[in-house]
Amino acid sequence: MPQFETRRPVKHSPERMYNLVADVEKYPEFLPLCDGLTVRSRKERDTKTLLVADMTVGYKAIRETFTTQVLLKPEESAIDVKYLDGPFKYLDNRWRFEPAEGGGCSVYFFIDYEFKSRLLGALMGSMFDRAFRMFAEAFEARADKIYTD
C-alpha cells in the first residue's frame, strides 16, 4: 500500500510539462528503472487520447513488465493511469499541471500501488518507493534539458 504524492513548482509551462509526461515512448531515455516502454494501442476520441502501454522496469537481475491504460486529457492538463496487468494488485497514478503565478507551473504527481506477491514487494518495494519519489524530479530535469529557451 505504498503511496506517494507531491506538488512541485517548475519553471516550465503546464503545456510543456504535460507534453513531456504524455510522451511515454521517451521514458526509457531518462526515467529511473524504466528499461522499456511499448505502446500497444492508441485511440483518439474528441480531445482525449487513450493509450495501452507495457512498461518494463528493472533493478539488478529483477525485471517486471506491467500494462497500463493511460488517458491523456490535454484540455484539462491531466493524465490518468489505470493498471491493467502485471505484478501489482493495483496501481493508481495521476498527473496534473497547473499554471503558477508569475509563470511556470505546479506539477502534481500521485501514485498508489501494491504488489500481488509479498516476496516481490519485499524485493522491489523499497526500490520502487525511491524510484517513484524521483519521478517528478526526473521529469523536471528532462524539461530543463530539452526546453532551453
Question: Rounded to an integer, what distance in angstroms lies between the CA atom of residue 25 and that of residue 97?
Answer: 20
Q: Indicate the pTM of the whole model.
A: 0.90
Q: How confident is the model at residue 149 (pLDDT cuts 50, 70, 90)?
A: low
Residue 135 C-alpha from the chain's centroid? 7
What mean pLDDT do residues 86-91 have?
92
What mean pLDDT do residues 28-41 have?
93
Q: Where are the domains of the chain?
A: 3-146
**Is 103's pLDDT higher than 80?**
yes
**Is 67's pLDDT higher than 90?**
yes
Angle (nearest 5°) at CA 16 between 144 and 139? 45
Q: How confident is the model at residue 125 (pLDDT cuts 50, 70, 90)?
A: low
**Is 126's pLDDT higher than 90?**
no
Question: Rounded to an integer, what distance in angstroms lies between the CA atom of residue 15 and that of residue 12?
Answer: 8
DSSP conformation class of 104: S
Q: What is the fold of 3-146?
A: Alpha-D-Glucose-1,6-Bisphosphate; Chain A, domain 4 (3.30.530)
| % of the chain exceeding 70 in pLDDT | 95
Kindly calculate the radius of gyration of the chain based on its CA atoms and give it in whole angstroms.
15
- Supply the pLDDT for residue 58: 80
